[in-house]
């Protein structure tokens, strides 16, 4: 069984990597660092569950380890499936072409599935802090739980708004044709024939409003995520000072029997 010092150090390293990954999230390096951070955080929670004899934390630790791996795998598989489903062969010339509308729709589904798996991991991550607070009575775990919860809500709102905006505008763009006057857009749901070649002002205003709200929610989630990572570092560092009951009152030594 891992010592509490090892668990605390792993938690500290994991959340530092998460913090660095968040700051560098727009770069491939940041994504890799964040991915490694999530794995180490999951290992720290798994070991904490073993040390504290809490099977729920061990299960959550396994979920945190597997969630980013499954999310990335689902995204990669989804991209290949999107390409496969959108690729058509023209019999006359045996030439392969791609149906852009089908590809975009399939790609959006793949991205949504990957994000949902990731968000499930974040949800259990919040539960882990609650379990640790109840089990170890470390108040910083409670504060981290509230902060992670707020960050989670902000990120969900941002993702929903972004996906809604993409689903609204992409079909119109794909259905359009680029001409001398710009993009002529036809959409059976929200748009009609646009002779001027531009989006109507009410649609543009709506899209800009959604994207602006998504940006605001994303910034709030980003800031809260940084704060939450720091609080989680402090929480795991406090594990070093916890003494379990069996450590405080060890069982009496076993006396050899008389033969």
**74: pLDDT strictly greater than 70:** yes
Q: What is the pLDDT of residue 113?
A: 83
Q: Confidence class of residue 248 from pLDDT cuts 50, 70 and 90?
A: low
Identify the CA nearest to 135 among candidates 203, 198, 55, 54.
54
Range 245-258 average pLDDT: 56
- 102-115 per-position pLDDT tens digit: 777 777 778 788 88
Q: What is the pLDDT of residue 45?
A: 95
- The SS3 assignment for 27 reads coil
Gap between the Cα atoms of 111 and 73, Å rounded: 11
| C-alpha dihedral sign at 33, 20, 59, 118 | negative
Three-point CA angle 212, 168, 114, nearest 5°: 80
Residues 6+ positions from 132 with CB-CB distance below 8 Å: 48, 52, 57, 138, 141, 235
Range 216-243 average pLDDT: 91
Q: Where are the alpha helices (DSSP H) in the chain?
A: 4-23, 28-51, 55-86, 100-136, 139-175, 201-238, 245-248
Gap between the Cα atoms of 34 and 18, Å rounded: 5
Gap between the Cα atoms of 58 and 119, Å rounded: 19
Range 167-177 average pLDDT: 58
Q: What is the pLDDT of residue 62?
A: 94
Residue 4, judged by CB atoms within 10 A of its CB (0-12, 13-18, 19+), counts as buried
- 4-47 per-position pLDDT tens digit: 889 999 999 999 999 998 888 766 788 888 889 999 999 999 99
Q: Confidence class of residue 92 from pLDDT cuts 50, 70 and 90?
A: low
């Amino acid at each position: 069984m891992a010592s509490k010092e090892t668990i605390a150090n792993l938690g500290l390293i994991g959340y530092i990597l998460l913090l660095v990954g968040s700051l560098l999230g727009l770069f491939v390096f940041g994504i890799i660092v964040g991915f490694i951070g999530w794995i180490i955080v999951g290992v720290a929670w798994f070991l904490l569950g073993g040390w504290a004899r809490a099977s729920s934390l061990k299960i959550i630790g396994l979920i945190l380890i597997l969630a980013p791996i499954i999310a990335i795998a689902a995204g990669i598989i989804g991209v290949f499936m999107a390409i496969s489903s959108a690729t058509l062969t023209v019999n006359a010339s045996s030439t392969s072409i791609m149906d852009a509308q089908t590809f975009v729709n399939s790609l959006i589904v793949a991205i949504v599935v990957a994000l949902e798996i990731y968000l499930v991991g974040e949800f259990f991550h919040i539960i882990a802090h609650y379990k640790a607070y109840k089990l170890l009575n470390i108040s910083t775990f409670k504060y981290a739980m509230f902060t992670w919860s707020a960050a989670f809500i902000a990120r969900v709102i941002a993702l929903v708004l972004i996906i809604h905006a993409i689903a609204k505008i992409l079909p119109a763009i794909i259905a359009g044709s680029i001409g001398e006057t710009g993009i002529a857009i036809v959409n059976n749901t929200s748009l009609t024939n646009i002779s001027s070649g531009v989006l109507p002002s009410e649609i543009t205003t709506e899209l800009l409003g959604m994207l602006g709200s998504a940006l605001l929610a994303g910034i709030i989630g980003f800031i809260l995520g940084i704060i939450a990572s720091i609080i989680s570092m402090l929480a795991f560092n406090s594990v070093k000072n916890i003494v379990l009951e069996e450590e405080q009152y060890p069982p009496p030594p076993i006396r050899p029997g008389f033969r």
